[in-house]
Amino acid sequence: MGSTRGEASVASILLVLGFLGVVVAGVTVWPLVAASGQQREVVEREATAVVVEPRPCGARAAGDVVEVRIDGQIRRATFDGCGHTRGQRLQVMVPTRPSGELRVGPVKDQATELEALAWRTNIVLATLAAVAGGGFGMLLGRR
């Protein structure tokens, strides 16, 4: 018995969808694979700062002034944020080699760019798996 026209079109659709899935997965995973082999110098580290001069938030706000301990010395720095209370402790990111006027920022959610790429890859691959599962379910529902 030969294949019917319906079976041939389903096979070609599955072939195209499979190829498209492999391409999307490859494009998504490639930056993660490329970045994993690179050694990056750590430019920031986490520290605890204490607000000494709070500043109000607004268009011209320069940020709160904080004191942070770096290599055993207490230094004043401008925090990339505003509206905190005097004496409040904040977790901040400090440059490993501070020079000149010191500016610190809040702790980042993701420690490295590699973790951000891994998170994006997981989301895209999970979405791709959901779409493929839904398509397969639709094909089984037709029978």
CA–CA separation, 39 and 47 (whole Å): 23
pLDDT at position 1 is: 47
pLDDT at position 67 is: 92
pLDDT at position 41 is: 59
β-strand pairing of 73-79 with 103-106: parallel
pLDDT at position 87 is: 92
Digit-by-digit pLDDT tens for the chain (143 residues) are 455 555 667 777 777 877 887 887 787 777 777 766 665 555 778 889 999 988 888 767 678 889 998 888 888 998 888 888 899 999 988 887 777 788 888 887 655 667 777 788 888 888 888 888 887 787 777 76
pLDDT at position 110 is: 55
pLDDT at position 52 is: 92
Burial of residue 35 (number of CB atoms within 10 Å: 0-12, 13-18, 19+): middle
pLDDT at position 42 is: 57
**Whole-model pTM?**
0.49
Task: Give the number of residues written for the chain.
Answer: 143
Whether 77 contacts 25, CB under 8 Å:
no
The contacts of residue 46 (CB under 8 Å, 6+ apart) are 91, 92, 93, 94, 107
pLDDT at position 19 is: 85
The contacts of residue 44 (CB under 8 Å, 6+ apart) are 93, 94, 95, 96
Whether 87 contacts 50, CB under 8 Å:
yes
CA–CA separation, 130 and 122 (whole Å): 12
